Amino acid sequence: MDEPAVDALAGRVVIVTGASRGIGLATAHALSARGARVAMLARGKQELEEAAASLAGDALPVVADVSDPVAVTAAFAQVVAHFGALHALVNNVAVGRIDRVEDARDEDLVAQVGINLLGPIYCSRAAIPPLREAGGGDIINLSSDSVERPFPFLSVYAATKGGLETFTLGLRGEVAEDGIRVTLLRSGPSLTSFARDWQSEAAGRAFEAWQAGGYIHAGGVVTPEVIGAGVVQILTLPVEASVFTLDIRPR
């Protein structure tokens, strides 16, 4: 009798940022269900620990702000010390502050650039040495269809995602010889808590502008679970293959 096939993700160590809710949590569940050991990064300790406890497999909650390079370095060292290796990084976490640029607060601009663009850069920098030591691996950067048509009142968010896509293209060439695959996963509208901190007045103005400009379409949304399944597909490809861009949209 043939031996049962071993799952390609079984025992592999994957870091997921923004893993306490939404796409990050759905991705962590999808990876854990396939036998991966998941390091879950987020800023809120209680929410993160509750999220990690909801996984059936081996999960490590690590409290870290990805916009802080010192915190990122410490978090990755903790993950490698705990699991003994690193095989993949999913740069998922992102924030969007809704407002006109002229009204944007300094702290909101800094947060978006720091978390959405510098965060993946800091995390990728920290991931490359252990990925190389493991003989190769994957970096997946999550972007948004807003790079193709930036919404008014979310122009800074779209700009950070545009920068992330450019970074992804450049990084791919830098680490290819190390056996590290770099994939851009671009998502359409999804069911997440992305808008939970938006102020109602600013959100109202934004929705009016989006409706007037034809930005809102009745095309549905993508669930976080679908994005998580996309991450699994990328990570389970044979090593000789690579997905450069996976663009997931509502049907």
Known catalytic residues are 157
CA dist., res. 33 & res. 21, Å (int):
17
CA dist., res. 156 & res. 170, Å (int):
21
Q: Is 87 helix (H, G, I), strand (E, B) or coil?
A: coil
List, in sequence order, the alpha helices (H) in the chain. Answer: 22-33, 45-53, 69-83, 106-113, 119-133, 155-175, 200-213, 224-235
Tokens coding 130: 């252990």
Q: Distance between terminal CA atoms of the chain?
A: 42
In this structure, are residues 14 and 36 in contact, taking their beta carbons and an 8 Å threshold?
yes
